[in-house]
Amino acid sequence: MENGGDADEHGGVSRVSSPSSLVFLGTGCSSAVPYPMCLIQPSASPCGVCIQALSVPPSLTRITGQISIARTLISSVVCNTSLLIDYFSGDDKHKYIIIDVGKTFREQVLRWFTWHKIPRIDSIILTHEHADAILGLDDIRTVQPFSPTNDIDPMPIYLTQFAMDSIAVKFPYLVPRKLKEGEEVRRVAQLDYRIIESDCEKPFTASDLQFVPLPVVHGEDYISLGFLFGKKSRIAYISDVSRFPESTEYVISKTGAGQVDLLILDSLYKVRPHNTHLCLPQTLEAIKKICPKRALLVGMTHEFDHHRDNLELDPVQLAYDGLKNLGRLMMRLSLSLYLRSL
């Protein structure tokens, strides 16, 4: 996506040219950070990352752009992986598309929608139907106009049939149906379910922006989706993956359909392997093979220390909650210089 605008003194963006942008609402794993067991049953060697996360008041994490405390706050509370696309579609119109609404969705709205002045959500896209991607669906009503009779336009939500069937079981009251005689109207999120295919050859459009589904293996018995999007810049977002099918790898590889400008990729653990997620050694190998212009990692556990690990990983970098990418800095200059300047 093409971006413009300049960073203000607090790390926000002044929309000089009404840019499109990405906001990382969450960059952590399903259990998030801090990890409760590190705090309620600390070991003889306490977890420094979790202790630090608990010690930073949540209200302070909004000022991650200030130089004096940025490095401390970047590694504070980390929510479930979620990305918001602020898509400038022309005529001063912005569309706000969110990928995944997990267990920490409400906290992400309170923290980052207010800080980045995100006024609404126009559409939702789901990667899969696990808890860290869908358990915030009930809270969608809190970002929709109030109507005691649910007489509002439903929000489009793009998902596979498999995810739809799962949501119908987990959240039956969120699936449209006719009321039975005598049944009360209850205020719930109003959603317009739109089925997409797990097929790179079947793109779809959400809020005027085209997305290419990127089916990936998320444990050998499960398929999750990543997405390729962007007009002037090609961005691949893959948050839950343990292995790439050849067809998906081809679509996003430099030696395949063409180099992507930004790859946002799963990286659960720092050293040890996992059966349903890429971990750092495998993630770095995948990045080397796919060869994007830039790469940011998401889905990390408390094993990662953002500042220290980013210095070692450069030019690959760990994303962090609240990060809003700036095209002029991220696409044309060194990403590491941008992160170190905070």
pLDDT digits (tens, 9 = 90+) for 30-70: 988 888 888 888 777 778 788 777 776 554 544 444 433 44
Cβ–Cβ < 8 Å for 266, 273:
no
The pLDDT score that the predictor gives to residue 147 is 83
Per-residue pLDDT tens for 215-268? 999 999 999 999 999 988 999 999 999 999 999 999 999 999 999 999 999 999
pTM equals 0.85
pLDDT over 50 (residue 312): yes
Do 307 and 71 touch, CB atoms closer than 8 A?
A: yes
Q: Is residue 331 predicted with pLDDT exceeding 50?
A: no
Per the listing, tokens 């949540």 go with 58
Residue 313 has pLDDT above 80, yes or no: yes
- Mean pLDDT, residues 110-137 taken together: 96
| The pLDDT of residue 18 | 57
Q: How far apart are CA 198 and CA 214, in angstroms?
A: 7
8, pLDDT greater than 70: no
pLDDT at 90: 77
The model's confidence at residue 275, banded by pLDDT at 50, 70 and 90, is very high
Question: Is residue 66 within 8 Å of residue 121, measured between CB atoms?
Answer: no
What does the DSSP assignment read for 210-254?
A: EEEEEEEESSTT-EEEEEEE-SSS-EEEE-S-SB--HHHHHHH-T
List the single range of 100-114, 117-131, 223-237, 314-328 with lowest mean pLDDT.
314-328
Query: Among 61-65, 178-182, 194-198, 335-339, which is the least confidently predicted range?
Result: 335-339
Computed over every residue of the chain, the mean pLDDT equals 84
Q: Which domains does the chain have, with CATH numbers?
A: 6-340 (3.60.15.10)
Phi, psi angle pair for 199, to nearest 5°? -150, 125
